[in-house]
């Protein structure tokens, strides 16, 4: 464009009439102006060439890597992975697989931990001799409540939006088995040994170019225990757990835990693993139909042990109220009892109860919350931190839609009858609450990592979307979930009808 303009001016000068002095002077004036403009025009021309060259290079680099983020006539919305690309660090085995090999170190405290980490972290398949429903063939496993490290990592290997180009990733996943690392050195070791793997990990990460891009704020990992197990410096017991969440590097990442410490915004609660790990959408829909049709014999049920060493814990009062009425059933979980270690016994009781009582135990949260919801049982909470302050991504903000809240202070003081409170809820309201619980089942279970659900979003999908949204907002952008259309309940119902 610059060269063409200069040629045009020269032609105008040459074509000027010979006898026109005024026109010749005007033409020479134009030539002087053009000469004056030539240096900046040359600069603009060079800048344009460089810009186009850079654009073409980047464009074809993305094409050659198979990572062009837009398809179909430049419509960015046509790329289903837009805003969801995740890069997984290729870490040394000492941060994950080798930790699992140390599973026998825990046998003095957790029997047969090696069995719990088999089958991609799901544990051994269940064999239900009572009714044949809770079996491995139907997606049921003896899953340990602290096995999420392995389950999540194996699910991530199947994630549809993985990329091997960290530069285009929206999030970076760190496959470190923090929960299993906690277990292997918790008993009989000093704090330096407990922290060794976490220190090794953070030093390894901070040397990576991916870390320097955002100082680790786009990194996330799964630590399949409560957040308190990784904040030793803030615990009452100075020998409990590791310092992963408070050490340099660890405190910069986002960490998915089973219970948030609620002390800062870097750790986010996700559901405990349950015993149910469906392999297909049809598995989910069949189970939902089953629990929807169950006859609920008991008004309320409780599974748990008393906490006699904790005077503030209300389990003793709950057990006493349950024992005082024929409308309540419970499984005793006192030390030495095996009732609470039988998934079949637990799930059968929850399937026969309308309400399941969920007081705090060793910590605010409980795996039992999610086991009971999978059974279609309406949870009854006594503390806000058991669920309402924890699982913002997985459970509705309108708590009364799916649960009942009874203040633990009233229970402790003997001012409330749990049975009378539950009986006062209208039958139509109970039915709506149960249906909401059944609708929530997919979002609180982890599908079998060796298979893939098609339209149903499980707890893994919800958690990954939640963490990517948080990272996007940290960058100062929009939450990516706002840019993606949600699948309607009508669409899921239609798919269920086709599969049933």
Q: What is the pLDDT of residues 299-355, one digit of tens each?
A: 999 999 888 888 889 999 999 999 999 999 999 776 556 667 789 999 999 999 999
Across the range 443-450, mean pLDDT stands at 97
Phi-psi region of 215 (alpha: psi -120 to 50; beta: other; left: phi over 0): left
In this prediction the pTM is: 0.81
Quick one: pLDDT at residue 461?
Answer: 97
pLDDT at 307: 86
What value does the mean pLDDT take over residues 55-72? 39
CA–CA distance, 343 with 351 (Å, rounded to integer)? 12
HEC-encoded secondary structure of 133-157: CCCHHHCEECCCCCCHHHHHHHHHC
Q: Is the pLDDT of residue 357 over 50?
A: yes
CA separation for the pair 445, 370 (Å, rounded) = 8
pLDDT score for 494: 54
Angle at which helix 148-156 crosses helix 459-475, to 10 degrees, equals 80
The answer on pLDDT for 378 being more than 70 is yes
Identify whether the C-beta of residue 281 lies closer than 8 Å to the C-beta of residue 493. Answer: no
SS (H, E, C) 227-291: HHHHCHHHCCCCCCCCCCCCCCCHHHCEEEEEECCCCCCCEEECCCCCCECCCCHHHHHHHHHHH
pLDDT digits 0-9 by tens, 185-199: 888 889 999 999 999
Spatial distance between the Cα atoms of 240 and 195, rounded to a whole number of angstroms: 11
Question: CA-based diameter of the chain, in Å?
Answer: 121
Q: How far is CA 209 from CA 205, 215, 461, in A?
A: 9, 10, 27
Check residues 457 and 42 and name the one with the higher pLDDT. Answer: 457
**85-93: average pLDDT:** 97
Say if CB 242 and CB 178 are below 8 A apart: yes
Which residues on neighbouring strands pair with residue 298, listed in sequence order?
353
Residue with tokens 């699992």: 100
- Greater confidence, 102 or 110? 102
Please name the residues in contact with 25: beta carbons below 8 A apart, sequence gap of 6 or more: none
């Amino acid at each position: 464009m610059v060269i063409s303009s200069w040629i045009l001016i020269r032609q105008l000068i040459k074509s000027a009439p010979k006898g026109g002095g005024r026109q010749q002077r005007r033409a020479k004036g134009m030539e002087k102006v053009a000469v004056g403009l030539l240096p900046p025009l040359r600069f603009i021309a060079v800048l344009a060439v460089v810009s186009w060259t850079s654009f073409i290079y980047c464009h074809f680099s993305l094409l050659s890597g198979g990572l062009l983020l837009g398809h179909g006539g430049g419509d960015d919305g046509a790329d289903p992975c837009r805003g969801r690309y995740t890069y997984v660090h290729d870490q040394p085995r000492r941060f994950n697989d080798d930790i699992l090999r140390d599973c026998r170190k825990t046998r003095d405290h957790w029997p047969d931990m090696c069995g719990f980490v088999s089958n991609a972290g799901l544990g051994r398949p269940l064999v239900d001799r009572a009714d044949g429903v809770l079996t491995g063939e139907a997606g049921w496993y003896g899953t340990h409540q602290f096995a999420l490290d392995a389950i999540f990592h194996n699910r991530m290997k199947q994630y549809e939006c993985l990329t091997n180009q960290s530069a285009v990733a929206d999030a970076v996943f760190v496959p470190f088995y923090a929960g299993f690392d906690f277990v292997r050195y918790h008993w009989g070791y000093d704090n330096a040994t407990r922290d060794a793997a976490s220190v090794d990990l953070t030093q390894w990460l901070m040397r990576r170019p991916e870390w320097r891009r955002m100082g680790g704020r786009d990194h996330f990992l799964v630590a399949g225990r409560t957040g308190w197990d990784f904040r030793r410096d803030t615990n009452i017991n100075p020998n409990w757990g590791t310092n992963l969440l408070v050490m340099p590097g660890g405190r910069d990442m986002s960490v998915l835990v089973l219970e948030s410490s609620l002390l800062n915004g870097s750790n986010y609660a996700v559901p405990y693993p349950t015993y149910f790990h469906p392999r297909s959408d049809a598995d989910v829909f069949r189970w939902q139909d089953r629990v929807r049709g169950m006859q609920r014999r008991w008004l309320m049920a409780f599974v748990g042990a008393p906490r006699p060493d904790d005077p503030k814990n209300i389990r003793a009062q709950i057990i006493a109220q349950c024992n005082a009425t024929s409308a309540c059933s419970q499984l005793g979980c006192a030390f030495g009892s095996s009732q609470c270690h039988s998934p079949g016994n637990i799930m059968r009781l929850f399937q026969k109860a309308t309400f399941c009582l969920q007081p705090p135990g060793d910590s605010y949260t409980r795996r039992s919350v999610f086991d009971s919801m999978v059974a279609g049982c309406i949870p009854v909470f006594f503390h806000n931190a058991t669920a309402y302050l924890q699982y913002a991504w997985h459970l509705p903000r309108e708590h009364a839609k799916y649960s009942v809240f009874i203040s633990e202070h009233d229970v402790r003081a003997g001012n409330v009858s749990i049975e009378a409170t539950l009986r006062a809820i209208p039958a139509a309201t109970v039915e709506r609450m149960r249906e909401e619980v059944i609708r929530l089942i997919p979002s609180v279970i982890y599908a079998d990592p060796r298979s893939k659900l098609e339209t149903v979003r499980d707890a893994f999908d919800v958690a990954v979307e939640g963490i990517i949204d948080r990272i996007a907002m940290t960058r100062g952008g929009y939450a990516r979930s706002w840019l993606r259309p949600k699948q309607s309940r009508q669409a899921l119902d239609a798919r269920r009808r086709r599969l049933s």
